Amino acid sequence: MVRLALITGASAGLGEQLAYEFARRHLNLVLVGRQRTKLERVARQAARLTRGKVAILAVDLLEEGQAQFVWQRCVQHCGVPDVLVNSTALSGFGTVAQQPQNAGQRVLRLNTLVPLTLSQYFIRMHQHDPAASFLINIASAGAELTLPYSAFHSASKAALLGFARGSQFELARTRIHLVTVLPTLLNTGHFAQVTAPDLKPWPLLVKLVAKQQLAPKKVARKIVRQTFHGAKILRLPLPYQMVANVNQILPDLSYRLSRLIYQ
């Protein structure tokens, strides 16, 4: 029986909604984020939904050694988590040449090194555990598809997909269930800030793409449900699974389509 979920990136967006979904299942929660005020707000809301306890850790995971600190603090004060959700991330969008030199390094640290560090701690702790445990890494459709102006974003998320595939053999010998989630565009404000300015200036096109945004609450509900039903690679929404299959056969297709709608 799962008892404790450790969730990074829990102060907003998909991480926040995942906190509420696990709270509804009455797990104890350790919520990790950079801004204490936002974390406290999420913790109060989560506490109304669960019979379990809710703790917060306000840390900047971009700082050296903070992933290790989060893991050790959780284990020492709350116990070993049965569920680990790696949801914290930077967008990583923008042209390679125009981004500051350290911007890509920050994206790779937060989107890749931090979740893989925590994943390794989790796997070490549970590799001989007879009880089931659940590791959820939030990647992106950008791990597979050609998305313009997403070099660092795609690189960071592709690493999580590679980790899932590369660890599949050894995890099959354990009770650890690794789920890698590849959602398309989430409705978290990212579209208006980053995506829309790069689309061709056709109002109908911008409106059409905007309508494809996924509601984080619905995505979180599907992630939790599918996690406990044995999902491994979870592509959302469902039609994206078909797109991914076509993309494997025709790998240039997403690139060709991108040229039609991006500047």
Asked whether 86 and 118 are in contact (CB, 8 A), the reply is yes
Task: Tell me phi and psi for residue 193, to 5 degrees.
Answer: -80, -40
Beta pairing partners, 133? 176
Residue 153 amino acid letter: H
Residue 203: predicted pLDDT: 67
CA distance 31 to 33: 7
Domains of the chain and CATH, by start: 4-261 (3.40.50.720)
Residue 42: predicted pLDDT: 99
Neighbours of 157 (CB within 10 A): 27
CA distance 61 to 118: 11
Q: Which helix (H) or strand (E) segment is 112 a member of?
A: none
Residue 190: predicted pLDDT: 67
CA distance 103 to 92: 8
No. of helices (H) and no. of strands (E), the chain:
11, 7
Residue 65: predicted pLDDT: 97
CA distance 160 to 156: 7
Residue 212: predicted pLDDT: 73
CA distance 23 to 7: 11
CA distance 226 to 90: 25
Rounded mean pLDDT for each run of 10 residues along the chain, 263 residues in total: 92 98 98 98 98 97 98 98 98 87 95 99 98 98 85 95 97 98 84 64 64 89 97 89 80 76 73
Residue 207: predicted pLDDT: 67
CA distance 29 to 224: 14
- Cis previous bond, 237, omega within 30: yes
Residue 204: predicted pLDDT: 63
Compute the radius of gyration of the chain from its Cα atoms.
18
CA distance 240 to 13: 21
pTM of the predicted structure, to 2 decimals: 0.91
Beta pairing partners, 85? 7, 136
* Helix ranges, 93-232 (H): 103-108, 114-126, 151-171, 190, 203-210, 216-227
